[in-house]
Amino acid sequence: MGGVLPLHTVMLGDGALPPVLFVHGFPISHEMWRPAAERLAARWRCILPDLPGYGRTPARAECGIGSYADDLAGLLDAMDERRRVTLVGLSMGGIIALEFFRRHRSRIGAMVLCDTRYNAETAEGVVQRERVARMALDHGTRAVAETMIDRALAPNADVAVRARLMGLMCATPPEGVAAGSRALAGRADSFPTLREIDVPTLLIWGREDQITGLDIAEVMHREIRGSRLEIIEGAGHVPPMERAEEFARVVGEWMRSHEANAPCRGA
């Protein structure tokens, strides 16, 4: 790998290990994956980018789910990573993973989709997403975080996890929050894509997810051929933070059972 990467990215694990690309949710950064990724890094190369406007990657005025997916492909190019990756996405990250599948299918060996959605935004949802964007720009990210934190976690969430998630949300610049909210408003309908998925796919959901409920997981499990659904007890919308050890165990056991690192693009 040479030169400056297009996204701020943390790498854990040796570069020769099979690559796993983790895509974070809204409105947080790669840090949400760290507790789980640190447990996986002995066997996998864990690639943890910050999307534009999150963590340490500067914001861009115009973003969409498609541009985030292309940013990730650009990151793999800049890393000269030619092997197929296991693509792991949570919530907005899962929506981006489905878009990445449509645009960059040959780069994916397997997928892990967590607490996410497949539908296009509803008319009511588009209005609400614009309200969130305006709230971030006019009143700051904390105002948005305060409306999200209770629903993002299981009702009995650990206080330290709650403080950590609040801190990650509040660290996101308002421009990143606004761009992400508008990107979510404009997302495509991924329902038809579900039946086209032909890579091993693991679905992981928190039993107490109040944002993307288990009914969504059940539809995805039914539509994605051969998919496996794992439910994490005691977790809400962010199992890799709320139940990092169990999340890492489930992902690790499943990844060991799949070959996800065959060369692609003639490498």
| Beta-sheet strand order (sheet of 228-232) | 9-12, 45-49, 19-23, 85-90, 108-114, 201-206, 228-232
218/244 Cα distance (integer angstroms): 23
202/224 Cα distance (integer angstroms): 10
Locus of tokens 């541009």? 67
In angstroms, what is the minimal distance from the CB of 242 to ligand MLT? 13
Asked whether the beta carbons of 63 and 176 are under 8 A apart, the reply is no
In angstroms, what is the minimal distance from the CB of 217 to ligand MLT? 14
In angstroms, what is the minimal distance from the CB of 194 to ligand MLT? 17
Question: Judged by CB, which is closer to ligand MLT: 79, or 88?
Answer: 88
Count helices and strands (H / E) in the chain: 11, 7
In angstroms, what is the minimal distance from the CB of 48 to ligand MLT? 16
Question: Judged by CB, which is closer to ligand MLT: 181, or 261?
Answer: 181
Question: Judged by CB, which is closer to ligand MLT: 45, or 68?
Answer: 68
Q: Is 41 in the site for ligand MLT (CB under 6 A)?
A: no
Q: Rule CB under 6 A: choose which of 13, 18, 19, 25 binds ligand MLT.
A: 25
Asked whether the beta carbons of 108 and 199 are under 8 A apart, the reply is yes
Q: Is 91 in the site for ligand MLT (CB under 6 A)?
A: yes
Point out which residues bind ligand MLT (CB under 6 A): 25-26, 91-92, 117, 184, 211, 237
